[in-house]
Amino acid sequence: MRPTRVRTAALAAATALLAGLAVTPAAHASTDQHRAGSTLAQLAERTGRYFGSAVDNPELSDTSYADLLGKEFDATTPGNGMKWYATEPQRGVFDFTAGDEIVDYAKSKGLKVRGHTLLWHQQLPSWLTSGTWTADELRSILKNHITQVVRHYKGKVFAWDVANEIMNEDGTYRENIFYKTIGPSYIADALRWAHAADPKVKLYLNDYNVEAIGPKSDAYYTLIKQLKADHVPINGFGMQAHLALQYGFPDRLRQNIRRFADLGVDVAITELDIRMVLPSDATKLAQQADWYGKVTDACLNVKRCVGITVWGYSDKHSWIPSVFPGEGAALPWDENLAHKPAYGAIHDALASAAKED
C-alpha cells in the first residue's frame, strides 16, 4: 500500500471530475486497484475507530447488498428496527423482532451495533401520541420503555442514542410530547434509566444540524456540560451529519467535534449522507467526494471521535429521495453497488490516518 500514490491518483481523478473531464475507465480501475487492499472498516480499525452503515430490515433480503455491507463495514445501526413504534407497538407489549433480526445479521457478519433510538418525537406508536398523560404517567411509560429495551439489548449493542433530536434550530428545547408533559428533566432521567438497565453501554444524545458551531450545537454543549456537572451518565454526542451540497459544508466541524471531546464525551458521526439536487453530475460528485473526505478527516483529527456511520451505503437504499423530493445520490456507492468518487475520498482519508498511527 502506498498512500501517497493513492492520494495522488485520487486527486487527479477528482481534479479531472471537477474540470468536467471524463475520467477514463482505466484511471478508475487503477485507482480502485490501489484501494482494493483494505476495506473502510479495516482502515478505520487501524486508527482505533469503527466504520459503519445503517441497515433497514427489508434490505437484509437484498443479499448482495447485505453481503457487501458485512464485508466493508464493522458496525451497523438499525434504520428503523429499534424505534419505539417497532419495539413497543402496544402499551407494555414489546416486540423485538425487527431489532433482533439486525442484531443476528450483525453477529453473523461480525459487526457491532449502535442502538437507535430510545426516545424521539417521530415514529412513536399512536397509543402513545394519541393518549393524554399526566407527567407521572408519561414518566413511568418512558422509564418502562427505556428499561425494557435497554435490558433486552444489554451486551448486544455498544451504544444507544438515548434521546434523538431534542433541540430546535435556535437552541431551545424541542416541544416533543416528553418536554410538553414532563419538562426538561426527562432528558437526565432517560440517561439515568438507560444506565441503570445496562451500566456498560455508551449513552448518546444525537441530532442533525449540529455539525457546525452555532446555536443548536451550542445548546448541546451547554446541556452536556451541565449533565456532566450533575453526574448524569452521558458518554457521547452523535452528529447525524445529514449534509446537503446546496447548503454548504458545516462551519468549523473539526473545532466543534473537539470542543465536545474536551467536555469528556465521545463524539460519533452517526448518520452521514451528503445529498444533492438531482440529477447528479461529475462536478457534484467530485464536491461530494471532497466533503466525505473532509468529514472523515475531521473525525480522524480528534481522538475521541470514535467512529463514522453512513446512513445506508448505496443510493440503491437511501431514505433521501422519499423525504427530500428531487434530491438524492447521497451515498458513497451508486445504485449498482459500484464505488462513487466519495468512496475513494473516504478510503484515502482513512488510509493516510491509518499509516500515521
Instruction: Give the active site residues.
Output: 165, 271
Asked if 273 touches ligand XIL (CB under 6 A), the answer is no
Q: Which of 85, 319, 333, 343 binds ligand XIL (CB under 6 A)?
A: 319
Determine the size of the site formed for ligand XIL (CB under 6 A). 7
Q: Which of 53, 164, 217, 288 binds ligand XIL (CB under 6 A)?
A: 164
For residue 23, the tally of other CB atoms under 10 A from its CB is 17
For residue 312, the tally of other CB atoms under 10 A from its CB is 27
* Residue 271 vs 348, nearer CB to ligand XIL: 271
Show the site string, 123-162: x = touches ligand XIL by CB under 6 A, - = not.
----------------------------------------
* Residue 40 vs 119, nearer CB to ligand XIL: 119
* Residue 77 vs 181, nearer CB to ligand XIL: 77
Asked if 80 touches ligand XIL (CB under 6 A), the answer is yes
Cα–Cα separations (whole angstroms), residue 315 to 17, 137, 156: 20, 42, 28
Which residue number is nearest to ligand XIL in terms of Cβ? Answer: 319
Q: Which of 72, 198, 266, 271 binds ligand XIL (CB under 6 A)?
A: 271
Distance CA 248, CA 244 (A): 7
For the chain, the helix, strand and coil percentages under 3-state DSSP, each to the nearest 5: 50, 20, 35
> DSSP string spanning 28-64?
HHHHHHHHTTS-HHHHHHHTT-EEEEEE-GGGGG-HH
Site for ligand XIL in 54-73 (CB under 6 A): 56
Asked if 240 touches ligand XIL (CB under 6 A), the answer is yes
Question: 95-133 burial, b if ≥16 CB within 10 A, otherwise e?
Answer: ebebbbebbebbeeeebbbbbbbbbbeeebbeebeeeeb
Residues in contact with ligand XIL by CB under 6 A are 56, 79-80, 164, 240, 271, 319
